[in-house]
Every structure is written in C-alpha cells, then in structure tokens.
Chains A and B, each alone.
Chain A
Amino acid sequence: TQLLEQSPQFLSIQEGENLTVYCNSSSVFSSLQWYRQEPGEGPVLLVTVVTGGEVKKLKRLTFQFGDARKDSSLHITAAQPGDTGLYLCAGERGGSNYKLTFGKGTLLTVNP
C-alpha cells in the first residue's frame, strides 16, 4: 500500500511553462517534506511544511500543505532546464516514529 500518492510520475515540459506536482494521502502527517534529487546524488531537502494550510515559497517554487495535513503540492513557475530532476515528497508521522514515507517521485524534464 502506497501511503503517499504522488503525481504525475513523469513530466516533460518546455522552458517557461508552469507545473504542479501533487502528493496525497489518507493519513495525517506531522510534517511533509519535499526533496529534489539529481542522478547519482542523494536527495536534497527543499522545504518542510508542518502547519495545516501552510504555504512556503522558495524563489519560483511554491509549496502548500493541506488544511488537514494529508496532502501537499509543489508548484513551479516558469520552469528552467536547471529544474530538471526527481522531485520527492515524504511524510513524517510524528510522535517517536521518526520515519519518512516517500511518494513514488516525479521525474521532471524541462526542455530548453
């Protein structure tokens, strides 16, 4: 059972286009994190959202955490070829259960 449904799995767009990646679950998470990973490297944390309804911006990236803390989205405005990579959402359940549940990932390709 995939606890975190991430979509789309693959996305190929032209430079300058906007895109949104979704991460949905039936479970509540104490925090949700977004990572970006390049080939042959470990994931790099982009943002952590912890409050329901929270919106965080990182340059052209906007992250939202759902009010019920069950879903999240990543919106990229005016995508650049440098945004190409694997984007991963991961949820943490809280308490003493320090363990991340990963979505399946979104492989984004931005063509020049």
Chain B
Amino acid sequence: GAVVSQHPSRVICKSGTSVKIECRSLDFQATTMFWYRQFPKKSLMLMATSNEGSKATYEQGVEKDKFLINHASLTLSTLTVTSAHPEDSSFYICSARDLTAYGYTFGSGTRLTVV
C-alpha cells in the first residue's frame, strides 16, 4: 500500500529558531499533500494544502508567513515553522492522496516542542 514518510518524528527547538518537517510519498506520486496540526486528544485541524509546483492553499487563520510550505517535487513536501514560539508546540501530521485508490495516507507525525 501507499506509504508516507514524515521526518523528524520528534524535534525540540529554541524559541525564535526555524524547524523544517519533511513529508515524502515513498511509492506513489502525490500532486497534493496536506498538513495538519493536532492538539492532545483532539482531532486533526487542516492547516494547508500543498500543491506541487504552485503555492500552498492555507486554511483561514493559518499564517502563511509563519508556516512555509514547499512542494518542489511529486514526492516531497516540506513545512517550515519559522521563528517558532512555545505556542507552536504541537503534533504536526502530513498526508497525501494516492489518486489510484480511495483514502489518504498519513505520515507518522512530528512532535514539535519549542522551549
């Protein structure tokens, strides 16, 4: 089945620094990937849709200058949290849709802690 690899799984960074999270589709091409944020014991909140070769589409209330998304190839999307602050600490998850099948495949998530 389709596999999405997300790295790193955990990252701790200092306040004010930037952190990059990678999301790769391993055995299929993904023209569209999605980035979610999840708080403890809560559901996933869509942050943005990452489109290969074009600008990401951000959901209302998500700062595009803070959460930079790049989707330079059909298998890789990156999310960069710029000038991170403690309130950015969260679980970030990416997903991709394999157009040959129904359903979305999710990465294993990245636990970001900003200290």
Contacts and interface: CB of A to CB of B under 8 A. Distances in A.
A107 interface: yes
A9 to B, nearest CB: 9
B97 A44 contact: no
A102 B43 contact: yes
28 contacts: A6-B43, A33-B102, A33-B103, A33-B104, A40-B91, A41-B108, A42-B93, A42-B95, A42-B109, A43-B44, A43-B93, A43-B106, A44-B106, A45-B104, A45-B105, A48-B103, A86-B41, A88-B43, A90-B104, A99-B34, A99-B46, A100-B34, A100-B104, A102-B43, A102-B45, A102-B46, A105-B41, A105-B43
B25 interface: no
Interface in A12-58: 31, 33, 35, 40-45, 48, 50
Contacts of A66: none
The B interface, classified by DSSP as helix, strand, loop or mixed, is strand
Interface of A: 6, 31, 33, 35, 40-45, 48, 50, 86, 88, 90, 98-100, 102-105, 107
Contact of B41 (A41, A103, A107): A107
Given A40-B109, A40-B111, A98-B32, A45 B42 contact: no
The A interface, classified by DSSP as helix, strand, loop or mixed, is strand
B6 interface: yes
Contacts of B41: 86, 105, 107
Given A33-B104, A90-B104, 12 more contacts: A31-B102, A33-B102, A42-B4, A42-B95, A42-B106, A42-B109, A44-B106, A48-B103, A50-B102, A98-B32, A99-B49, A105-B41
